[in-house]
Homo-oligomer: A and B are copies of this chain.
């Protein structure tokens, strides 16, 4: 059945009952606003929005359940970047009326599965018809302890630089199936002083210079040491993008202890020191080409 034959009210009647709702939700989808418990005293509110657009971020032929998964997991990866815990999501679905109900239901199933993986409640959203490609926008609210959030800004000269997992080749499949490193990020900030952190979405070559710039430092990496995904090249590890791994800087004196206990805590996820931050130095930074840039 096409959405055009169904109408918005009946579409919502199909989609809303299945939404995951956890504690703290006082009014959710179907009300004018979501009304939820705020963060506990001493915690900060964390907000993030992200969108996927057909033909830009996914092919029309992509499995809708994986598109839904990715639409939810992308903003959650940003929560990992700041060491926040996501709690509530709003979903906006802009979809042509010619799309089938079953396509939309599969998309929503993927979104729900992703939300449930991190105990996120879906508390509202918006559907709109459109004359163009499908777009899914997900906004997430959550919290982080006031003494525990991390930005890109705190890196210092001499800090070793680490990445989780393996880089490159994500477009062969990982970009639709990745797992945000929230657990790893929360563990890091519970056990170490993380100076600066971000998630790698545009590729190390685009993202690392952003972290360095925000921290007002330079960097030096050994491209031969980059942890490559199976089949990926060094060039791909630098500029393919969509790795959704953590890039972070800690104090040099934490480096050995971090590597030792990471291996015990996350035996199946690589942790690699790829280089270090240093005083700003334009020459060494030229090695990195830029990643994917929108509108160009």
The smallest beta-carbon distance between A138 and chain B, in angstroms, is 9
Task: List, in ascending order, chain B residues with CB within 8 A of A194's CB.
Answer: none
Complex contact A81–B33 (CB within 8 A): yes
Given contacts A49-B90, A131-B56, contact A33 B294 (CB under 8 A): no
Complex contact B31–A129 (CB within 8 A): no
Whether A271 is near chain B, meaning CB under 8 Å from some CB there, is no
Complex contact A51–B294 (CB within 8 A): no
Minimum CB distance partner of A96 in chain B:
B132
Task: List, in ascending order, chain B residues with CB within 8 A of A139's CB.
Answer: 47, 49, 90, 139
The residues in A between 41 and 89 inclusive whose CB is less than 8 angstroms from any CB of B are 41, 43-51, 53, 55-57, 78-79, 81-82, 84, 88
Given contacts A33-B82, A133-B130, contact A295 B51 (CB under 8 A): no
Whether A141 is near chain B, meaning CB under 8 Å from some CB there, is yes
The smallest beta-carbon distance between A142 and chain B, in angstroms, is 9
Minimum CB distance partner of A127 in chain B:
B294
Stretch at the interface among A143-151, A159-167, A227-235: A143-151
Question: Contact check: which of B7, B32, B57 meets A82 at CB < 8 Å?
Answer: B32
Complex contact B26–A44 (CB within 8 A): yes
Give the interface of A toward B (CB within 8 A): 3-4, 6-9, 11, 26-27, 31-39, 41, 43-51, 53, 55-57, 78-79, 81-82, 84, 88, 90-92, 94, 97, 123-133, 135, 137, 139, 141, 143-144, 149, 151-152, 198-199, 293-296
Given contacts A33-B46, A34-B46, A53-B129, 16 further A-B contacts (CB under 8 A): A8-B293, A8-B295, A9-B293, A32-B198, A33-B84, A34-B47, A34-B48, A38-B39, A47-B123, A49-B125, A49-B126, A49-B137, A50-B126, A51-B94, A56-B130, A135-B135
